[in-house]
Chain A
Amino acid sequence: MTRAPAPPLAAVALLSAAALGYEVLLLRLFSIVQWHHFAYMIISLALLGYGVSGTVLALLGERAGRHFETLFMAAASLFGAAAVGCFLAAQRVPFNPLELLWDASQPARLAAIYLVLAVPFLFAATGIGLAFVRFRDRIGRVYGADLLGAGGGALGVLGLLFVAMPMDALSVIGALGPVAAALAAGQARRWGPMVAAAALAAGLAVLPAGTLGITPYKGLSQTLETAGARVLSESSSPLGLLTVVDSPRIPFRHAPGLSLASPVGPPEQLGVFTDGDAYAAINRSDPGGPPPGHFAYLTSALPYALRQDPRVLVLGAGVGGDVLQALGQGAAAVDAVEINRQMADLVRGTYAEFAGRPFDRPGVRLHIAEARGFVTASGGGYDIIQVALLDAFGSASAGLHALNESYLYTVEALGLYLDRLADGGLLAVTRWVKLPPRDGLKLLATAAAALRRAGIEEPGRHLALIRGWKTSTLLVRDGPFTAAEAAAVRRFCVERSFDLAWLPDMTADEANRFTVLDQPYFFDGATALLGPDAASFTDRYKYDIRPATDDRPYFFNAFKWRLLPELTALRGRGGLGLLEWGYPVLVATLAQAAVAAVLLIAVPLWLTRRAAAGHAGRGRVLVYFLGLGFAFLFVEMAFIQKFILFLNHPIYAAAAVLSAFLVFAGLGSLVSARLPGRNPAAFAIAAIAMIALTSVFVLPPILAELAAIPLPARFAVSMALIAPLAFCMGMPFPAGLARLGQGAPALIPWAWAINGCASVLGAVLATVIAIEVGFTAVILAAVALYGVAAASFPRPEPP
């Protein structure tokens, strides 16, 4: 046998990088055109593409290796073309998630998007898989190139997103596919294909990829439909696409829940949209003059009615509205914390004069930081901590944020804020009013839990809740409210026609007077949640109002399964508006992923009967690789969640954690061949179980301790903390394959396929478990699955 040419390592690494970059980019693109909760679908569809490629390679068999160069170049080029083309095609599918429950054709459209977007991953994975088949003898180096490339791609796309608009980033990533093809062609000295691939790469990079088709139901789309509205500027980073809009003919009048008693309306405004939604307003304000007066007539102004010259911390300062409110209400000093520098820069740069430089006013200090991280590192001593209302009402009302993890509104977060208050200080949190109440009551329950954790026996004495037409504001006091403060709360409400929902000494007849509900839902709910029957009330309540915790950070999810039959039965009477449907859609996605995985990965293999039917060990192979697939994804998804808090943003966490798991699992798999014994996976799995279980207890304090170090350092820490676990997790899969290779090679494609199916489902299922019971449970489930896998390690074939 003549020695084969060297494997095209650079081409493999580049293709792998492009595929992972594409996956992270899709998270970003879908947040813009639809909503964030399709993130789980994207991780799942990428894995589907990888899984199907295993089936394709199994079906190709030995032919794949013989025509490696041609097939690899084709696969890499097709990835590039499909990365752009399939995204544009998916954008043309008229899918509207808001109609999912009304229109029977919508689930099919969602499925079409899911399948179309899996295609680029299928091409990329097939190209990489071809290299494995062709260079079986040097699989270690190929695998290394694949994983290092993937790890680099996941991180590299973040850098790309800082300098390129999202659609330009799509062009760049698309071009990387044919560049990889050209590299491989060059190495094989096939000049014709190399030129062709380079031309395709140039074409993809140069031709505009088109525009983002943002759903017409987002705030930005709707605003731009009105006469005279126009986009003034756009800026983009991994944290979001910011669009500033002017609407001179039909002015913006953003003042959520403004009291009818307000003598003034909002001033002239510019609209700022993040990812086409989450509307905030830049208020016209004179730098030297008083801030706009309407701010005093929002429910969020309540804490200022109780404090003179307060030191204020605004979490989520955005474009400065809450800072202007604080200054207008007499704040002596304001620390303004905003995570997105581009957002704050809007009112420090381009629109500084319009906005009256809110962050440059005397007494104001702007901090570009994530809220929890800032508060953790802060010395505290604030008289008022104001948590701004940042999300859009429309999407909130539909439960569209249900799957967004939020570490701003957990028991641990509120406990931290309370700890940083001065004596008698006030934490103020404003939320949209929903009917029947959901997050309003959940917030109260969360605050009560935080107070109890701090050793306070009667949390009700520390709480005040008021509501207006569209917003409610909760105050949590360091120490019980005084009689004078209670009187000030009452006065504030009466003057503005706001309702008391909870005040320590309030009576039932004080509730429900101005904005009258069928029942005093808020007062009744607060009374129950702060009384002895809180647990029973929470259980009997039809929405999930259990306190959100760092382990179950789904503050926005209020869905309980018992709602589904009741409200769908009431759909004819408008009942669906009361259904929080973000979560049921996730479960529908899971069902869709299951069908796709079985149909596209397993069934083709079964139909072609490539698997030797008579193998005695089939059952063990099934359980082993199914268990590994689920367990790996469970751990990976749980870690992504754990690191969102640490790295400040889901996209950072996804990139860092994916990257770390790829690289270190890859290294682990390289050494797996040296594992000893009849059941070599058992060693690795024992180590996995130990590290995973330890991390449940050890990680949170370590991450909290390091919350304030610079972001790049936190990326490095994240990689280092994940390394040992990922290293061990890389071993069981190749160890199992190696065992099959010795005795039952016909089962290898099956093993790939089973593992692929499990991965596709595991990504979504992990989130379902996390919503129901929390991430610790996800990790425990993963450890249990690893245990089952260890017990099912394929037996050596009898000689």
Chain B
Amino acid sequence: MPPVPIIRVRASMLTRVVAPLLVLAVAWLAGVPPAGAADEHAEKRAGMVATIAALAADDNRDTGRGRLAPRVMAAMGQTPRHEFVPERRRDDAYRNSPLPIGHGQTISQPYIVALMTDLLDAGPGDRVLEVGTGSGYQAAVLAPLVARVFTIEIIPPLGRTAAERLKRLGYGNVETRIGDGYYGWEDEAPFDAIVVTAAASHIPPPLVQQLKPGGRMVIPVGERFHVQYLTLVTKDADGHVTVRELLPVAFVPLTGDH
């Protein structure tokens, strides 16, 4: 295997971005009861958030596009990701990488979760639909940001585990369901935002219909451990639909000069 370099955080970035964020994170963590294990997870989580912030800053520098709203970062900072990964992978929970959660499914790379949450641009009063609950992590990240989250899982054991987990962790504004996500959640439609993490051969038209005017839908495309691009479907006030395909990362396929 070629060695995979660890992401380097440059000193300037450390002072510019990471340090203030760490201060913020520590300030926020001060409100958390200081139990031993919780402390350890909280520390790792703060590290993960700092990593994401630094990476987002890098991306911002490379592309000039502003990204990752502070409230999204706050949600990432308060969601106990270790609760959403299999017991034996808990030590890796706050690494910025995807992890298997069984049944051939994954919990996405934290940076991608943050990015998708940010792209959804959902506000405090919003109703959000998620197709593909998986571990429940994405729903948990969304929960503090919006009014209600409705999430559907196609694989029964995954859906049951996620439902119990979300309930146990007190995510009272997340509704879960096991079943077919293709037709959305008719009774609760329309939605301000929809996130589809299940593989689809085409954009399900019923989901587009259940999107409110002004709503946004995000679909990651690729293979389980490697998101290739993100599809952003937006519906304007007149109901006109636009589809965008975005790379998660600043990457130009052409070298500038030669």
* A293 contacts B by Cβ under 8 Å: no
Which residues of A are found within 8 Å of B248, using beta-carbon distances? 573-575, 577
Segment at the interface with B among A376-384, A561-569, A612-620: A561-569
Q: CB distance A517 to B253 under 8 Å? A: no
Docked complex Cα distance between A564 and B228 (Å): 15
Q: How far is the CB of A493 from chain B (nearest CB, A)?
A: 14
Q: CB distance A469 to B255 under 8 Å? A: no
Among A96, A98, A571, residue most surrounded by chain B Cβ atoms (within 10 Å): A571
Segment at the interface with A among B21-29, B185-193, B198-206: B198-206
Q: How far is the CB of B225 from chain A (nearest CB, A)?
A: 4
Which residues of A are found within 8 Å of B138, using beta-carbon distances? none
* Given A217-B104, A572-B96, A574-B112, A250 contacting B179 (CB threshold 8 A): yes
A94-118 Cβ-contact flags toward B at 8 Å (1 or 0): 0010111111000100000000000
Docked complex Cα distance between A469 and B4 (Å): 32
* Given A517-B245, A588-B1, A98 contacting B226 (CB threshold 8 A): yes
Q: CB distance A571 to B225 under 8 Å? A: no
Which residues of B are found within 8 Å of A576, using beta-carbon distances? 225-226
Q: CB distance B244 to A517 under 8 Å? A: yes
Which residues of A are found within 8 Å of B109, using beta-carbon distances? 574
Q: CB distance A578 to B247 under 8 Å? A: yes
Which residues of B are found within 8 Å of A215, using beta-carbon distances? 104
Which residues of B are found within 8 Å of A256, using beta-carbon distances? 201-202
B28-59 Cβ-contact flags toward A at 8 Å (1 or 0): 00000000000000000000000100010011
Docked complex Cα distance between A221 and B104 (Å): 7
* Given A101-B4, A569-B5, A397 contacting B104 (CB threshold 8 A): no
Docked complex Cα distance between A260 and B206 (Å): 10
Q: CB distance B227 to A577 under 8 Å? A: yes
Q: CB distance B208 to A394 under 8 Å? A: no
Q: How far is the CB of A270 from chain B (nearest CB, A)?
A: 15
Docked complex Cα distance between A582 and B105 (Å): 21
Residues on A close to B: CB < 8 A?
A: 96, 98-103, 107, 215-218, 221-222, 225-227, 249-251, 253-260, 262, 265, 393-395, 397-398, 400, 434-437, 469-470, 497, 514-518, 521, 536-537, 539-543, 562, 564-579, 584, 587-588, 591
A selection of 27 A-B contacts at a CB cut-off of 8 Å is A98-B225, A101-B4, A102-B98, A216-B104, A222-B104, A222-B199, A225-B155, A250-B180, A256-B202, A260-B203, A260-B205, A265-B205, A393-B199, A394-B222, A436-B247, A436-B253, A517-B245, A539-B258, A568-B2, A571-B7, A571-B97, A573-B111, A573-B248, A573-B249, A574-B248, A577-B226, A577-B229
Interface magnitude class on chain B: 35 or more
Docked complex Cα distance between A400 and B222 (Å): 12
User: Which of B203, B249, B254, B258 makes the CB contact (< 8 A) with A570?
Assistant: B249
Q: How far is the CB of A102 from chain B (nearest CB, A)?
A: 5
User: Which of B154, B156, B249 makes the CB contact (< 8 A) with A575?
Assistant: B249
Q: CB distance B180 to A249 under 8 Å? A: yes
Q: CB distance B155 to A226 under 8 Å? A: yes
Which residues of A are found within 8 Å of B74, using beta-carbon distances? none
* Given A436-B253, A517-B244, A258 contacting B201 (CB threshold 8 A): yes
Q: CB distance A577 to B231 under 8 Å? A: no
Docked complex Cα distance between A668 and B123 (Å): 78
Q: CB distance B224 to A98 under 8 Å? A: yes
Which residues of B are found within 8 Å of A394, using beta-carbon distances? 199, 222-224
Docked complex Cα distance between A573 and B158 (Å): 27
* B149 contacts A by Cβ under 8 Å: no
Which residues of A are found within 8 Å of B169, using beta-carbon distances? none
* Given A540-B255, A569-B5, A570-B251, A260 contacting B241 (CB threshold 8 A): yes
Docked complex Cα distance between A225 and B226 (Å): 21
Which residues of B are found within 8 Å of A226, using beta-carbon distances? 154-155
* Given A217-B223, A225-B104, A253-B201, A435 contacting B247 (CB threshold 8 A): yes
Which residues of B are found within 8 Å of A260, using beta-carbon distances? 202-203, 205, 208, 241, 243
Which residues of B are found within 8 Å of A96, using beta-carbon distances? 100
Q: CB distance A98 to B223 under 8 Å? A: yes
Which residues of B are found within 8 Å of A436, using beta-carbon distances? 247, 251, 253
Q: How far is the CB of B257 from chain A (nearest CB, A)?
A: 8
Which residues of A are found within 8 Å of B51, using beta-carbon distances? 572
Closest B residue, CB atoms, query A252: B201
Q: CB distance A469 to B251 under 8 Å? A: no
* Given A250-B180, A574-B248, A575-B251, A469 contacting B223 (CB threshold 8 A): no
Which residues of B are found within 8 Å of A570, using beta-carbon distances? 249-251
Which residues of A are found within 8 Å of B10, using beta-carbon distances? none
* Given A222-B104, A436-B247, A99 contacting B241 (CB threshold 8 A): no
Docked complex Cα distance between A584 and B178 (Å): 39
* Given A98-B223, A518-B247, A542-B254, A253 contacting B5 (CB threshold 8 A): no
Which residues of A are found within 8 Å of B255, using beta-carbon distances? 540-542, 562
Docked complex Cα distance between A436 and B254 (Å): 10
Q: CB distance A216 to B103 under 8 Å? A: yes
Docked complex Cα distance between A516 and B240 (Å): 14
Among A215, A253, A395, residue most surrounded by chain B Cβ atoms (within 10 Å): A253
User: Which of B7, B104, B229 makes the CB contact (< 8 A) with A572?
Assistant: B7
Q: CB distance B202 to A257 under 8 Å? A: yes
* B221 contacts A by Cβ under 8 Å: yes
Q: How far is the CB of A30 from chain B (nearest CB, A)?
A: 18
Docked complex Cα distance between A253 and B224 (Å): 19
Which residues of A are found within 8 Å of B222, using beta-carbon distances? 394, 397-398, 577
Docked complex Cα distance between A587 and B2 (Å): 9
B59-101 Cβ-contact flags toward A at 8 Å (1 or 0): 1000000000000000000000000000000000000111010
* Given A435-B247, A540-B255, A588-B1, A253 contacting B182 (CB threshold 8 A): yes
Residues in B191-221 with C-beta less than 8 Å from chain A: 199, 201-205, 208, 221
Q: CB distance B258 to A536 under 8 Å? A: yes
Which residues of B are found within 8 Å of A565, using beta-carbon distances? 5
